[in-house]
């Protein structure tokens, strides 16, 4: 398996191209197309899309009906076909083509010296500034036909899907400009017929705000169709007698912008990105209604014809031309992060608020350690009480020091509880823990420094045992503090432990998002200044369960030493649960996202000192740990308490996004890591 190859990892490189047009000069335009085609070949591009009518210009008007121009178009196409013979890239070129008694506005699909097919524009605008029916015939009814072009016979119609045999999942459909603007575009039917990459050759002139309208339509089409959408518009050189042109190029994938070119460029421009074909396939597998829609429209969908071709993609490392977020749960864009934090926080607050109101007027019982998770759960509980019009004293916060509780974290818990005005108590679990260990004849009770999982879980279990009984005693419910990342990795104590609660407010929040939620709470003044000061201090602490005493000269217990960096594990979590990606692809993406701390974007406010990099052996090591822990700990997730879903990437709840047998094995995943992910 070629681990470093983007094509072997389920990607296909596409280009949306715009270039200066020479009005009514097909020979010059063909030369410009060939030049860009060769550049695309050099960039290992699979599919290159050029603007509508780029061999003549969109704005030549009545010249479309001149024999001299139409004959020159045939010659120009023959030049492009010949030049494509030694090029890897499939070319999609706009040209007027005669078929029968009419001229059609067409996309001509060319690859390695062959015309694979010709797609006529289905819907012709004839309103406002557009007069296309004056020259062209609509192609919506031209199905199951053939055409002679550039000396070759090729399939003709809007019903063509170009299937690449040696790049699984690369199935191309082509439509032209206005086709995208109608209620049921040809591309929508093509997607139901299997097309994964939808291309649009556009001659759309620019007016104020039209670029945003195009983005809206392209994004919507890519999202609704679970597809990639490649858009290339005409630009420089078109006639400005009455209109202007901006040469907009963009590629969206499943609603996400992969790349957009400069508008109003001087000279040719290419927006080149790598489309994730696996993501498209997985989205369709997961959304059953996609295929249900195909059944509804089966009569139309079944009429699509498949044209097969072979790319012969390059091998080896050609890079990865797409942004890979280090933090799938944490946007890099400040405005998007702001909105995500607002929504996540209020989802949690309103979830707990509804649960409290549904029960009656129970108090919220919560164990606070001074760490990130319990801190966030505490402020969620306080805000829920505020919204219910109840006093914060109805939040009962308990700090329960064990054998390794530090004075710093305990101090944070005390200070934060006091600043928030909750009811606070300290309950020392050490005497009860010592008694339990003694009753069990654990080596620790005999004076030995044995700090095994039993030693840890005695403390974790006692804390929640006390919390549940305190809730019984004082008329409350236990608010869980464990987060989504811990549930995925099984980093929680089953039963009477932090795996269990009456309502788990953090169950849908990954570890890497928690710190940003707390920062958002601080910046938005949700609480008083004294509370905000403590919250800011808590953000600086290393994640630790504080269950094992620290010995002199040794590093204190750190969670990430056991389960791996949450940076990497949350990355894997999102790609497993939301996208179902195989381990080798996750490793490939993680390596690209994390191999260089200096490149790429970081979330707003992310500390400079925490910006780290991970090499491929490190990625592989912790991916293996994730798989082992994920499969071994499903039994904990099968018995989760209620808690709100927060992220679109999903939850671990068996009533929500994740259902899995507790006795499933991760052998297939581990075998692939061993076989396909380089160890060094």
Q: Which phi and psi angles does 528 have, rounded to 5°?
A: -70, 160
- Mean pLDDT for 287-295 is 95
Choosing from 17, 52, 283, 382, the catalytic residue is: 52
Asked whether residue 494 is marked as a ligand-binding residue, the answer is: yes
Among candidates 548, 393, 564, which has minimal Cα distance to 489?
A: 564
SS3 33: helix
Which token pair is 273? 């990105």
Instruction: Say yes or no to pLDDT of 59 above 90.
Output: yes
Asked whether residue 171 is marked as a ligand-binding residue, the answer is: no
Instruction: Say yes or no to pLDDT of 542 above 90.
Output: no
Instruction: Say yes or no to pLDDT of 544 above 80.
Output: no
Asked whether residue 337 is marked as a ligand-binding residue, the answer is: no
Asked whether residue 106 is marked as a ligand-binding residue, the answer is: no
579 vs 310: CA distance, rounded Å: 27
- Write down the pLDDT at residue 417: 97
Q: Is 447 left (phi over 0), alpha (psi -120 to 50) or beta?
A: left
Asked whether residue 370 is marked as a ligand-binding residue, the answer is: yes
- Write down the pLDDT at residue 649: 85
CA dihedral in degrees (420, 425, 426, 429; nearest 10)? -120
Q: How are beta strands 102-111 and 114-120 bridged, if at all?
A: antiparallel
Asked whether residue 493 is marked as a ligand-binding residue, the answer is: yes
Active site residue 40: no
SS3 567: helix
193 vs 163: CA distance, rounded Å: 11
Instruction: Say yes or no to pLDDT of 189 above 90.
Output: yes
Instruction: Say yes or no to pLDDT of 605 above 90.
Output: no
Residue 287: CB atoms within 10 A of its CB come to 12
pLDDT over 70 for what percent of the chain?
100
Nearest-Å Rg of the Cα atoms of the chain is 30
- Write down the pLDDT at residue 396: 98
SS3 234: coil
Among candidates 8, 12, 7, which has minimal Cα distance to 676?
A: 8
155 vs 117: CA distance, rounded Å: 5
- Mean pLDDT for 564-574 is 97
Does the CA dihedral 128-129-132-135 come out positive or negative?
positive
Asked whether residue 636 is marked as a ligand-binding residue, the answer is: yes
Tokens 């491929």 correspond to what residue? 616
- Mean pLDDT for 503-520 is 96
Asked whether residue 374 is marked as a ligand-binding residue, the answer is: yes
The 10s digit of each residue's pLDDT in 513-527 is 999 999 999 999 999
Choosing from 17, 54, 164, 177, the catalytic residue is: 177
The 10s digit of each residue's pLDDT in 306-336 is 999 999 999 999 999 999 999 999 999 999 9
Contact 136, 105 (CB under 8 A): yes
- Write down the pLDDT at residue 373: 96
Instruction: Say yes or no to pLDDT of 274 above 80.
Output: yes
Asked whether residue 293 is marked as a ligand-binding residue, the answer is: no
Asked whether residue 669 is marked as a ligand-binding residue, the answer is: no
Active site residue 52: yes
Instruction: Say yes or no to pLDDT of 453 above 90.
Output: yes
Q: By mean pLDDT, which of 393-407, 550-564, 607-621 is the weakest? A: 550-564
Asked whether residue 222 is marked as a ligand-binding residue, the answer is: no
Asked whether residue 481 is marked as a ligand-binding residue, the answer is: yes
Active site residue 177: yes
Q: Is 18 left (phi over 0), alpha (psi -120 to 50) or beta?
A: beta
- Mean pLDDT for 153-170 is 98
Asked whether residue 204 is marked as a ligand-binding residue, the answer is: yes
Asked whether residue 361 is marked as a ligand-binding residue, the answer is: no
Q: How confident is the model at residue 548 (pLDDT cuts 50, 70, 90)?
A: confident
- Write down the pLDDT at residue 264: 96
- Write down the pLDDT at residue 550: 79
The CA-atom distances, in angstroms, between 297 and each of 121, 193, 228, 303 are: 21, 10, 21, 11
Which token pair is 581? 């990606």
Asked whether residue 127 is marked as a ligand-binding residue, the answer is: yes
**Strands across the sheet with 476-480, in order?**
423-426, 395-399, 363-367, 476-480, 503-504
The 10s digit of each residue's pLDDT in 6-23 is 999 999 999 999 999 999
Choosing from 106, 121, 178, 225, the catalytic residue is: 121
Instruction: Say yes or no to pLDDT of 556 above 80.
Output: no
Q: How confident is the model at residue 547 (pLDDT cuts 50, 70, 90)?
A: confident
The 10s digit of each residue's pLDDT in 386-422 is 999 999 999 999 999 999 988 999 999 999 999 999 9
Asked whether residue 340 is marked as a ligand-binding residue, the answer is: no
- Mean pLDDT for 365-383 is 97
Q: How confident is the model at residue 545 (pLDDT cuts 50, 70, 90)?
A: confident
Among candidates 219, 158, 222, 178, which has minimal Cα distance to 196?
A: 222
């Amino acid at each position: 398996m070629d681990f470093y190859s983007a094509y072997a990892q389920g990607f296909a490189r596409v280009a949306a191209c715009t270039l200066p047009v020479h009005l009514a000069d097909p020979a010059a335009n063909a030369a410009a197309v060939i030049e860009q085609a060769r550049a695309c070949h050099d960039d290992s591009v699979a599919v290159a899309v050029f603007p509508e009518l780029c061999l003549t210009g969109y704005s030549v008007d009545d010249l479309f009906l001149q024999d001299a121009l139409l004959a020159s178009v045939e010659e120009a196409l023959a030049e492009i076909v010949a030049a494509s013979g030694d090029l890897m890239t499939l070319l999609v070129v706009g040209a007027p083509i005669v078929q029968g008694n009419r001229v059609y506005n067409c996309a001509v699909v060319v690859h390695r010296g062959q015309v694979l097919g010709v797609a006529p524009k289905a819907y012709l605008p004839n309103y406002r500034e557009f007069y296309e029916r004056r020259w062209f015939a609509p192609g919506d009814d031209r199905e199951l036909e053939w055409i002679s072009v550039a000396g070759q016979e090729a399939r003709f119609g809007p019903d063509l899907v170009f299937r690449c045999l040696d790049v699984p999942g690369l199935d191309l459909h082509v439509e032209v400009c206005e086709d995208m603007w109608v209620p049921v575009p040809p591309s929508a039917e093509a997607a139901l017929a299997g097309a994964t990459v939808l291309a649009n050759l556009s001659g759309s002139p620019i007016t104020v705000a039209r670029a945003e309208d195009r983005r809206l339509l392209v994004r919507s089409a890519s999202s609704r169709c679970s597809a990639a959408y490649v858009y290339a518009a005409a630009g420089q050189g078109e006639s400005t007698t009455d209109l202007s042109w901006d040469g907009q190029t963009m590629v969206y994938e499943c609603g996400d912008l992969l790349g957009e070119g400069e508008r109003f460029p001087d000279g040719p421009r290419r927006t080149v990105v790598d489309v994730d074909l696996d993501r498209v396939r997985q989205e369709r597998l997961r959304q059953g209604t996609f295929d249900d829609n195909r059944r509804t429209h089966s009569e139309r969908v079944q009429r699509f014809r498949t044209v097969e071709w072979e790319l012969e993609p390059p091998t080896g490392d050609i890079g990865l031309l797409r942004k890979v977020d280090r933090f799938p749960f944490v946007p890099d864009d400040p405005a998007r992060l702001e909105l995500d934090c607002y929504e996540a926080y209020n989802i949690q607050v309103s979830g707990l608020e509804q649960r409290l109101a549904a029960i009656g007027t129970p108090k919220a019982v919560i164990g606070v350690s001074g760490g990130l998770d319990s801190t966030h759960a505490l402020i969620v509980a306080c805000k829920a009480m505020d919204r219910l019009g109840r006093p914060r004293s109805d939040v009962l916060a308990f700090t329960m020091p064990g054998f390794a509780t530090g004075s710093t974290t305990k101090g944070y818990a005390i200070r934060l509880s006091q600043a928030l005005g909750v009811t606070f108590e300290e309950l020392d679990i050490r005497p009860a823990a010592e008694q339990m260990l003694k009753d069990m004849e654990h080596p620790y009770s005999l004076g030995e420094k044995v700090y095994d999982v039993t030693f840890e879980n005695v403390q974790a279990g006692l804390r929640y045992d006390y919390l549940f009984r305190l809730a019984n005693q004082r008329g409350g419910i236990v608010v869980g503090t464990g987060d989504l990342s811990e549930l995925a990795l099984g980093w929680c104590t089953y039963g009477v432990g932090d795996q269990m609660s009456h309502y788990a407010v953090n169950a849908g929040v990954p570890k890497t998002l928690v710190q940003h939620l707390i920062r958002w709470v601080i910046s938005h003044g949700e609480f008083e200044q004294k509370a905000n000061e403590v919250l800011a201090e808590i953000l600086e602490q290393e994640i630790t369960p504080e269950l094992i005493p620290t010995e002199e000269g040794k590093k204190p217990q750190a969670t990430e030493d056991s389960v791996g960096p949450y940076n990497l594990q949350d990355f894997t979590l999102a790609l497993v649960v939301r996208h179902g990606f195989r381990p080798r692809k996750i490793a490939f993406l993680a390596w690209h996202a994390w191999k260089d701390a200096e490149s790429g974007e970081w979330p707003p406010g992310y500390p400079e000192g925490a910006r780290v990099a991970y090499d491929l052996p490190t990625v592989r090591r912790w991916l293996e740990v994730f798989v082992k822990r994920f499969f071994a700990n499903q039994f904990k997730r099968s018995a989760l308490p209620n808690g709100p879903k927060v992220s679109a990437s999903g939850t671990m709840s068996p009533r929500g996004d994740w259902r899995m047998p507790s006795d499933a094995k991760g052998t297939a995943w581990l075998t692939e890591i061993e076989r396909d992910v380089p160890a060094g």
